[in-house]
Each structure stands twice: as structure tokens, then as C-alpha cells.
Amino acid sequence: MTGTEKKLRAVVAVPLAEDLCRLIEELEPRVEVIRDHALMPPMRGPADWSGDPDHVRTPSEQQAFDEMVDSADVLFGIPDVDAAALARTVAANPRLRWVMTTAAGGGASVKAAGLDREQLDRVVFTTSAGVHGGPLAEFAVFGVMAGAKNLPRLLADQGTRTWPDRWEMRQFDEMTVLVVGLGGIGAECARRFHALGARVWGTTRSGEPVDGVDRLVPLDELIDVVAHVDAIVVTLPGTAQTHHLIGAEVFEAVKPGAIITNVGRGTVVDETALRGALDDGRIAFAALDVFEQEPLDAASPLWGHPNVLVSPHTAALSSKEEERIARRFAENAARLLDGEPLTAVVDTVEFY
């Protein structure tokens, strides 16, 4: 790049530490990273992209923020992680070429913005899908392990200082684990379960082989297959097509005593049907990091169910997440500048 060539103007539209802004510039010098930390709400913890909800900009600060966002060729993050703000800036800025959402499931926010087809075709949207694969796969293994070793029974006996007769735990090398969705997260799950000796099956739409997967299962065979597996690991995004995919039909067909864990989106699992399956023992244990409505309602029976482990959508959280996403942004910026396809592009028909 010569000194006269124009840099790609990338505006940081969510809180991002200064050292990570500099990292993007170092990784891809053709990008000019525009940021104003004074206009951002303070983060309350790692990867808190929306920041403190009590933070309010003054009218002049909001004007400065909007003007900065509207000057972008590309955006790091949906402004304030707000679909309405995304819709506003896409309409106001005809130069905008690409928006990277900081969420793996950022397609839902793009859908919520209500953009028209011209806008969806003009701007490329990408997500951080895959960045969270390792941590979520670890939680999936933890969840299935907790079910296989009957963690609720162990904790109950410990709580009452009961030393029962010895009882048999399940072993991974005797289990078949079905990974529902073999995208970035699902592939990481498959690799770990395979390494632990499990037989791994996985649902697929493409039919492409995945390392560690012993059997590829067309999604339309899901009902038939669940009768033969010991654990179900859900990794799918939340779309109209996946809504309640794991529902009454699946739970009626499962192998009695199956374990389920969800590290995808809460809407994929019908929680009412799940509760019924837990109550009658068709599902022996459920480890859930995501829910249909979040935060999980205090009145939800899932909180107190003895065979449910509730995780507050925190399994992917890592102090390294922000750096991984910044590196992903720099990689995709280079692809954009070089005319190469971007990774983790949102499907603007199904929005995943």
C-alpha cells in the first residue's frame, strides 16, 4: 500500500479496549480504526459489548457517536448492540460495506433491524461464529459428563452425608453422542467427544465429512436416530427453521435415560416438552447454557428441577474472547480488501 492509497475506515461501534484497537491496526495496516472511548458505555466484565445499561449519552455525545458511526466503511459491532441503531446507520450511510457482529448469533440482530432487500444485499454482515467453539464444546462435554456420572445423585447424597451402595456410572467409551449441528461449535464438540472415546454422530445438511464424526445424519432422520443415542448435544442457531426442532416428537422418540445439553440457542429446544421428558425419565439430565427467554424467569420449574443444570448463558465467556473477535475482524478486513470471501457471513434469508 502506498502512502496515497485510502485506508478502510473501520468504526468501533461498541466498547473495545485501546490495546485491541491497536492490535487490529497492527494485524491489518490498511485499516484505519476510528474509536472514541469517551462515547462508549463502560464494560461490566469480559465481552460486555452493550456495556453498562445505566450509562446514558448526553444529546451532544449521541450526535457525535452517530456521526462517527455514519462515517464508516465498515463497523466493528452493531452500534450499542441495538437493532434499531443498526437500521438507522444502514439507512444513513450508503457507503457502509460490512458490519461484523460481536455475537456468534448476530443474525438475529440483523433480522430484528428490519432491513429491506436492497440494504441486505448492499451490506455484508458477519458474526463471531466459531470464536466461541472451544469454550462451548468444553461445557457440552461437562454437561454430558455430569449426566453420565449422575452429578445430581452425588450432590444429593453428599448433602445428606449418605454413603449408598455402589452404583454404576456411564462411560464415554460406551456412549453414542449425537451432535445436532456440525458448524463451528458442533465440530469442536465432535472432536472432543471423539477424543474421549465416544461414538459420535452428527446431523448435517451439506453431507460434508467432519473430523471425529463416525456417522453423518441427515436432519430429516433426526426423529429416527435419537432412539439410538445416549446423549444429544444441541449447537444450532436460533432461526425460524430451528425453532423447537428439539420438541415433543424428539422427546417421545428418545432412548430412555438420554442426556441433553444445549450450547446453541434456547429457542431450538421446546422447554415445555423438555420438562415433560425430564419428569418421566425419558431425559435423565439436561445441562442448559441457553434458554427460550433470558434471563430465565424466576418462576421457571427448570430452576428447581433435580436433573437440570442451569448455566446463565455464560459458558462461552472468556477473558480472551475480545481478542479473538478483534483478530477475526482483522482477518476479515484483509479478506474484504483483497476481494476474498468473508468468513461467518450471515445468511440474510434464514438469518444465521
* Catalytic status, residue 67: no
Q: Which of 265, 275, 282, 328 is catalytic?
A: 265
* Catalytic status, residue 265: yes
* Beta-ladder partners of 12: 76
Phi, psi of 176 (to 5 degrees): -110, 125
Q: 3-class secondary structure for the chain?
A: CCCCCCCEEEEECCCCCHHHHHHHHHHCCCEEEECCHHHCCCCCCCCCCCCCCCCCCCHHHHHHHHHHHCCCCEEECCHHHCHHHHHHHHHHCCCCCEEECCCCCCHHHHHHCCCCHHHHHHCEEECCCCCCHHHHHHHHHHHHHHHHCCHHHHHHHHHCCCCCCCCCCCCHHHCEEEEECCCHHHHHHHHHHHHCCCEEEEEECCCCCCCCCCEEEEHHHHHHHHHHCCEEEECCCCCCCCCCCECHHHHHHCCCCEEEEECCCHHHECHHHHHHHHHCCCEEEEEECCCCCCCCCCCCCCCCCCCEEECCCCCCCCCCHHHHHHHHHHHHHHHHHCCCCCCCECCCCCCC
Distance CA 309, CA 289 (A): 8
Q: Which of 174, 294, 340, 350 is catalytic?
A: 294
Q: Which of 313, 324, 327, 335 is catalytic?
A: 313
Q: For residue 196, with 0-12 CB atoms within 10 Å meaning exposed, 13-18 middle and 19 or more buried, which class applies?
A: middle
- Residues annotated catalytic, as ranges: 265, 294, 313
